[in-house]
């Protein structure tokens, strides 16, 4: 079959990453986590003393770090300026700063171009996950999926992930939910390519579904396109 391009968008905690990786693995496709790219650029800014709350400073530094994304769904690492950023991009500092950095148009232009290049070069096809893939990055994708879930389900999943990541005590659920809603509101209200469902995207509400059920649903939708 011809290489298939799949766009998976949605807010945080809807299972985008787990779903995208499992779908790519099941179908032998490449995988691109665009959120990891925004996080890697943010991490680079924080470690190089760029004031992430100063859009002009962020714009001026946008081209400095070379971001290289692994596209193997089994081990999608990422480097910024040759330094492995796979672990550090998941810290709370990066999570708290990423929405401000990703709202800067120069940052978006830079990463959008990189994302399109990676998608075109994926010979076996690719699953690309993010916030603006179906609307802006790959408007001609073969399949667009928009994942949603209730705020409660999203916060519960996210707090489970945080706990799994560092083995620490369960973070406060109300605090996790508040931080997550704040990030979604920032991502949805920015001027340049906000988080938005594309008109031709299929919405999948994952609130009552297991990961396996969501993966099966998306795999079926892709097979119908191939």
| Binders of ligand C5P in range 112-151 (CB under 6 A) | 130-133
Is residue 99 within the footprint of ligand C5P (CB under 6 A)? yes
Tell me the three state secondary structure of residue 83.
strand
From residue 12 to residue 31, what is the string marking binding to ligand C5P with x (rule CB under 6 A)?
A: x-------------------
Smallest gap from residue 223 Cβ to ligand C5P (A): 25
Smallest gap from residue 162 Cβ to ligand C5P (A): 12
Is 14 known as a binding-site position?
Answer: yes
Smallest gap from residue 183 Cβ to ligand C5P (A): 5
Would you say 131 or 157 has its CB closer to ligand C5P? Answer: 131
Would you say 34 or 206 has its CB closer to ligand C5P? Answer: 34
Please state at what angle helix 105-121 crosses helix 92-102, rounded to 10 degrees: 100
Taking Cα atoms as reference points, which of 218, 31, 35 lies closest to residue 143? Answer: 218
Q: Is the dihedral of CA 223, 161, 178, 33 positive or negative?
A: negative
Is 17 known as a binding-site position?
Answer: yes
Report yes or no: 108 and 102 within 8 Å, Cβ to Cβ: yes
Q: Any alpha helices (H) in the chain, and if so which ranges?
A: 16-27, 34-47, 55-61, 92-102, 105-121, 151-166, 173-189, 211-225
Distance CA(17)–CA(133), nearest Å, equals: 14
Is 12 known as a binding-site position?
Answer: yes
Q: Which residues bind ligand C5P (CB under 6 A)?
A: 12, 34-35, 38-39, 98-99, 102, 130-133, 183, 187
Task: Specify binding-site residues for ATP.
Answer: 10-18
């Amino acid at each position: 079959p011809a290489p298939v391009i799949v766009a998976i968008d949605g807010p945080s905690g809807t299972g985008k990453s787990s779903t995208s990786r499992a779908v790519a693995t099941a179908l032998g496709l490449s995988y691109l986590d665009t959120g990891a790219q925004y996080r890697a650029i943010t991490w680079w800014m924080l470690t190089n003393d760029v004031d992430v709350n100063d859009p002009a400073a962020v714009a001026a530094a946008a081209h400095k770090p070379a971001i290289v994304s692994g596209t193997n769904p089994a081990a999608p690492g990422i480097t910024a300026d040759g330094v492995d950023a796979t672990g550090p991009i998941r810290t709370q500092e990066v999570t708290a700063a990423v929405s401000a950095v990703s709202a800067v148009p120069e940052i978006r232009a830079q990463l959008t171009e990189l994302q399109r290049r990676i998608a075109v070069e994926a010979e076996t096809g690719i699953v690309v996950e993010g916030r603006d893939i179906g609307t802006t990055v790959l408007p001609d994708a073969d399949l667009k999926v928009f994942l949603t879930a209730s705020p409660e389900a999203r916060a519960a999943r996210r707090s489970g992930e945080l706990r799994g990541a560092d083995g620490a005590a369960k973070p406060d659920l109300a605090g996790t939910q508040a931080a997550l809603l704040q990030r979604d509101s920032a991502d949805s209200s920015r001027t340049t390519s906000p988080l938005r469902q594309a008109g031709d995207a299929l919405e999948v509400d994952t609130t009552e579904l297991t990961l396996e059920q969501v993966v099966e649903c998306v795999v079926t939708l892709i097979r119908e396109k191939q």
